[in-house]
Amino acid sequence: MTFPRSVLLRDVSLRDGLQDEAPVSTEVKLALFEALVAAGIRELELTSFVRPDRVPAMADADALCAATDGADVIRWGLVLNRRGAERALAAGLTHLQYVISVSDTHSRHNAGAGTDDAIAAFEAAAVPAIDAGATVEMTLSTAFGCPYEQRIDPARVVDVARRVAAAGATSIGLADTIGVAVPTEVAALTQAVADAVGDDASIGAHLHDTRGLAIANGLAALEHGATRLDAAVGGLGGCPFAPGASGNVAIEDLAHGLDGMGIDTGLSIDRLVDAARLACDAVGRPVASAVGIAGPRFA
Amino acid sequence: MTFPRSVLLRDVSLRDGLQDEAPVSTEVKLALFEALVAAGIRELELTSFVRPDRVPAMADADALCAATDGADVIRWGLVLNRRGAERALAAGLTHLQYVISVSDTHSRHNAGAGTDDAIAAFEAAAVPAIDAGATVEMTLSTAFGCPYEQRIDPARVVDVARRVAAAGATSIGLADTIGVAVPTEVAALTQAVADAVGDDASIGAHLHDTRGLAIANGLAALEHGATRLDAAVGGLGGCPFAPGASGNVAIEDLAHGLDGMGIDTGLSIDRLVDAARLACDAVGRPVASAVGIAGPRFA
């Protein structure tokens, strides 16, 4: 087993973890932000610039950006289009995360446009954002499977990745949006995308633990070219309408496992668990992480 | 990633899964046994021949053996000593699973004798059992860590494995009794034990999911010489005094993941989930498996 010596774990609690929950106050988000930074988090998804009527939990994007200005952490803002990018830049963010669904059907349902149109829109939006000094990356949702189309052709994902990297995305996130990937698929797709984009973009994996495979999938990604994994404290991000269904892979479980394997994450497990308790209390859910329940393996 | 084409998943629900629970009736155990066989299970831990006052949940060992006689499945009986082996043989079992703790301190606490004495007792007990026609295997508990000694020297595990294989154990089970192993450790120890015992014994891994790594650990074992994984429906086997702490890796999650990777287990996921519901209802716990909650990945 060959892994990178160090891995970037990007926390997505504040965005992906909270977006489908009843809105929590900006004050609580700030407390969580501080707890994450105290745990050693170097990059995080802070918020998204989407329609507040569609995602009320993210309605305080501007206030959250203002209140965290100057913090020693890279703050990513999720944007879906040019207007979102302009809002993010106006709010002071310099790191913009675009999302495109590689499933045409999912893209039409979720973003109102097919994948090709979404790529064209990204190409048009990325240029001015990059010109304005922003770092732009792309998350490819439904990269391993789609609720409408089920299996997605890996060649299609590779093609989309190559095009968005050519358009300026400095990192490609491969998202297992509905938690259907298995390790061999993650290994193969990560390798294929890494080979396709070469030095143009780094590779991240965004894995949901819906079927218990997120950690194994993350390790497969790291063995095949990914240098970043997304994760949320306490496994936040489960669909609120499917009680018990897991959300994002829990960052404290991932950090604990990598730490045991001698892979540096720069994170404090204990402080991540503190942050998980804070976040899960705020949304009224139990901490859904193994290490949050059992504690670290050796004292 | 290189895996065996097929993997034996041995169900341990009836023994490891139920041993620390309030006793369930022999009738319910028989229903679970039938459900497991219907799901395609080829080998299972049926019961243990230990002191009924110590493990009341296993007090019906003789009745359970009699009632399942002739079933088309390999029934393993756990034994700790010569007397247990004699009881198992008298009950009609032909497959005896011995257990030794490779942690000397844990062995003294749990079995009243250090590891070396336990090995000597096994050597003495194995001969007559094998002479009587039994297949004998050995599970090495605390192989990856111990509640008393914490880390266990892998060289010690390899040494014990070599000795018990030489004494007639046809399979060596490496047990992560307290759920502390990480994939790189599992890979290294599995490979070292496989190299040490060669063709004398096959290798199995018995993994608890206490810290969320059991599936990743199982895959690491399979990549490095293991051909069998132990698992329980619904993740049964958590310590009843630590609510929420995971027990055995859930067999339906493991089977589902392996199936997705094109590795044959011969099992029906849906029927495993049926068995999980039956077993978890019987002990009054929720089904603690991802696939039991979310369902399989593709219809």
- A239 is an active site residue: yes
pLDDT in tens, B269-298: 999 999 999 999 999 988 889 999 999 998
Q: Quick check: B239 pLDDT over 60?
A: no
∠ CA(B221), CA(A217), CA(A48), 5° rounding? 160
End-to-end CA distance of chain B: give it in Å, rounded: 26
In which residue are the tokens 């393996």 written? Answer: A297
* C-alpha torsion angle, residues B287, B292, B294, B296 (rounded to 10): 170
**Which residues have CB under 8 Å from A118's CB, separation 6+?**
A100, A101, A107, A111
Quick check: A260 and B185 CB within 8 A? yes
**Nearest residue of chain A to residue B258 (CA atoms):** A182
**Nearest residue of chain B to residue A296 (CA atoms):** B211
Q: How confident is the model at residue A246 (pLDDT cuts 50, 70, 90)?
A: low
Residue-wise over A206-244: b if at least 16 C-beta within 10 A, else e?
bbbbbbbbbbbbbbbbbbbbbbbbbbbbbbbbbeeeeee
pLDDT at position A126: 92
Which tokens sit at A119?
Answer: 């790529």
- 3-state class of B179 per DSSP? coil
Which of A143, A182, A184 is closest to A160 using CA atoms? A143
pLDDT in tens, B169-180: 999 999 999 999
Query: What does the pLDDT average to over A102-122?
Result: 94
Residue-wise over A4-16: b if at least 16 C-beta within 10 A, else e?
eeebbbbbbbbbb
Quick check: B246 and A180 CB within 8 A? no
pLDDT at position A286: 87
Q: How confident is the model at residue A158 (pLDDT cuts 50, 70, 90)?
A: very high
Percentage of chain B surpassing pLDDT 90? 90
pLDDT at position A288: 85
Q: What is the Cα–Cα distance from A231 to A249, expressed in whole angstroms?
A: 5
Which of the following is catalytic: B65, B146, B239, B280? Answer: B239
Which residue ranges make up each domain of chain A? 8-294
Which amino acid makes up residue B236?
L
Which amino acid makes up residue A3?
F
Quick check: B213 and A215 CB within 8 A? yes
The chain A residues in contact with chain B (CB within 8 A) are: 1, 3, 145, 150-151, 179-180, 182-185, 187, 209-213, 215-216, 219-220, 223, 242, 244-246, 250, 253, 256-257, 260-262, 286, 289-291, 293-294, 296-299
Quick check: A220 and B244 CB within 8 A? no
pLDDT at position A206: 97
Which of B179, B187, B242 is nearest residue A1 as measured by Cβ atoms? B187
Quick check: A298 and B210 CB within 8 A? no
CATH superfamily, domain B8-294, is Aldolase class I (3.20.20.70)
Residues of B in contact with A293 (CB under 8 A): 244-246
Which tokens sit at B105?
Answer: 């301190």
Which tokens sit at A169?
Answer: 């995305």
Which of B184, B244, B293 is nearest residue A293 as measured by Cβ atoms? B244
